[in-house]
């Protein structure tokens, strides 16, 4: 078949899909309107996959650790494994079609750490995500995500996302119903737009079934980050792009699309979809407003991408060949059979906004756990002696690891009958300044700011609470250091 014939037929198929979408516009519009009325009500009545089904492009995978993605779903969202005894626990929803039962995880994982072992597929296809095996770019198995490092809320209900540090990855190489070859598909993911890097590759979507790079056009996945080795968009990044294998693409050109802007919403809706010689990137703020189209048009102008050669595996947090140097945070995402209409996607975005994603309020008291190590900020020897440099240690739930965040920004700890404050030693502000415990005196070197990206900065210095050398061993000291976005500078209190 000639390129002209294939293009004509592909566009004809798209026109037929568009007519089908128009016929469903009233229904989809009604669904979108319903989502705007009540976030609490929508969780019990419908989800994104109900909207996709109504639009004629049903979900073939539906992954979320925060909520049900079908109004009728009452099964497990994900599974955790705790370190203390290796026991497993499925975490489900509070009610049918509702939000995650985060309290069940909190109770199960109390006084120890937990990792996410399975992210269940809520569709009838059972395309669950589990620990990624090794691949052509990196050996495996990959790391599993700490279950507590991405706290969030949905309409006030506490939940946890999937915090992907470099080396972490999930995969399913044996799926059902996922697009292969040049078949049409759509996908979206809700991500933390402030958590990214220039590593390869933080993806969610369609990949190779062998965990190896098998050539151009063998992938179709959402990418988020600011790597510029391949294609890129405008501004400094990060960008929503498509990983189509052997290239990250922002449009038809293999290098640059000025219409693909830098986006860093705290909660980001990212969408990619593809059909015969047609694909698109759309994105928006998952907390408010609609979607913008950053690209919609023919496949990239390089060999191997028209037609596509998709294989139908599903990946999260890694590249198709298990490239795993990237980081990011995932809350929910789906993959569809068929090329969704914009009307359907707009209704899905309205549903996402109505879900009410918001930052999790910092707990008043609890362990301060490091993202890079999974270990807790600790007072050596549980001693009340002033001036001891704090460290990380395995989380025990003891008093020496229980920190209270006060209204005036102090972090206090009660040890040996003494209340002490977390303190930048001597009021110093230079890189490498020891972070110690000291009698509370109200100084600015004892005030700490919790930031949306998980960092904790000293009010006086502006520098980050940092695990020295990005170490992960017990007794690694904690210090001030210039903020650079590393996982050794990200913390979760609670």
Catalytic residues: 245, 321
DSSP type of residue 360: P
Let me know the angle formed at the C-alpha of 450 by 318 and 285, rounded to the nearest 5 degrees.
Answer: 55
User: Helix, strand, or coil here: 313?
Assistant: strand
Strand 157-160 to strand 220-225: parallel, antiparallel, or no bridges (unpaired)? Answer: unpaired
For 470-479, letters b (16+ CB in 10 Å) and e give: ebeeeebbbb
Residue 322 to residue 202: CA distance in whole angstroms = 10
In 55-101, alpha helices (H): none
Cβ atoms of 79 and 131 within 8 Å: the answer is no
- Cis before 141 (ω within 30): yes
Cβ atoms of 437 and 423 within 8 Å: the answer is yes
Cβ atoms of 173 and 211 within 8 Å: the answer is yes
Torsion on CA atoms 69, 182, 177, 127, rounded to nearest 10 = -60
Which helix (H) or strand (E) element contains residue 104?
Answer: helix 102-108
Cβ atoms of 196 and 238 within 8 Å: the answer is yes
**Which of these, 116, 130, 267, 145, lies nearest to 195 by C-alpha position?**
267
DSSP code per residue over 380-420: GGG---TTPBPEEE-----GGG-EEE-TTS-EEEEETTEEE
Three-class SS string for 166-198?
Answer: CCECEEECCCCCCCCECCCEEEEEEECCCCCCC
Tokens of 48: 């994104």
Residue with tokens 């890129």: 232
DSSP type of residue 477: B
Cβ atoms of 119 and 321 within 8 Å: the answer is no
Q: In the beta sheet, which residues pair with residue 157?
A: 154
Torsion on CA atoms 20, 25, 26, 30, rounded to nearest 10 = 130
Residue with tokens 């070859």: 181
Greatest C-alpha distance within the chain: 81
Which helix (H) or strand (E) element contains residue 304?
Answer: none
Residue 330 to residue 347: CA distance in whole angstroms = 21
């Amino acid at each position: 078949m000639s390129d002209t014939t294939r293009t004509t037929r592909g566009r004809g198929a798209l026109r037929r899909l568009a007519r089908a979408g128009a016929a469903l516009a009233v229904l989809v519009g009604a669904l979108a309107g319903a989502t705007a009325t009540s976030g609490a009500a929508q969780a019990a009545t419908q989800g994104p996959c109900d909207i996709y089904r109504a639009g004629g492009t049903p979900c073939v995978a539906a992954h979320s650790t925060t909520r049900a993605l079908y109004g009728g779903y009452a099964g497990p969202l994900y599974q955790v494994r705790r370190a203390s005894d290796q026991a497993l626990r499925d975490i489900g929803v509070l009610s049918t079609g509702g939000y995650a039962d985060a309290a069940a995880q909190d109770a199960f994982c109390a006084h120890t750490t937990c990792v996410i072992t399975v992210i269940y597929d809520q569709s009838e296809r059972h395309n669950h995500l589990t620990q990624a095996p090794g691949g052509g770019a990196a050996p495996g198995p990959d790391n599993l995500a700490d279950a507590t490092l991405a706290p969030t809320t949905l309409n006030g209900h506490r939940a946890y996302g999937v915090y992907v540090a470099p080396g972490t990855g999930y995969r399913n190489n044996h799926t059902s119903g996922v697009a292969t070859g040049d078949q049409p598909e759509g996908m979206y993911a809700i991500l933390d737009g402030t958590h990214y890097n220039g590593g390869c590759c933080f993806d969610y979507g369609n990949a190779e079934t062998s965990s190896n790079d098998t050539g151009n056009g063998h992938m179709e996945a959402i990418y988020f980050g600011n790597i510029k080795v391949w294609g890129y968009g405008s501004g400094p990044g990060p960008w929503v792009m498509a990983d189509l294998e052997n290239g990250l693409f922002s449009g038809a050109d293999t290098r640059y699309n000025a219409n693909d802007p830098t986006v860093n919403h705290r909660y980001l809706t990212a969408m990619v979809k593809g059909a015969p010689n047609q694909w698109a990137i759309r994105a928006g703020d998952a907390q408010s407003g609609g979607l913008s189209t950053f690209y919609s048009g023919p496949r990239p102008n390089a060999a191997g991408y028209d037609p596509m050669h998709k294989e139908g595996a599903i990946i999260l947090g890694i590249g198709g060949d298990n490239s795993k140097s990237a980081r990011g945070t995932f809350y929910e995402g789906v993959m569809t059979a068929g090329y969704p209409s914009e009307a359907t996607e707009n209704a899905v975005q309205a549903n996402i906004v109505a879900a009410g994603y918001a930052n999790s309020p910092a707990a008043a008291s609890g362990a301060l756990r490091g993202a890079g190590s999974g270990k807790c900020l600790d007072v050596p020897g549980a001693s009340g002696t002033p001036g001891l440099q704090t460290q990380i240690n395995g989380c025990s739930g003891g008093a020496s690891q229980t920190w209270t965040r006060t209204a005036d920004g102090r972090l206090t700890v009660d040890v040996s009958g003494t209340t002490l404050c977390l303190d930048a030693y001597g009021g110093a502000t230079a890189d490498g300044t020891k972070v110690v415990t000291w009698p509370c005196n109200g100084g600015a070197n004892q005030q700490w700011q919790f930031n949306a990206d998980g960092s904790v900065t000293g009010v006086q210095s502006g520098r980050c609470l940092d695990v020295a050398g990005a170490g992960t061993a017990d007794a690694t000291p904690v210090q001030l250091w210039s903020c650079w976005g590393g996982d050794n500078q990200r913390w979760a209190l609670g």
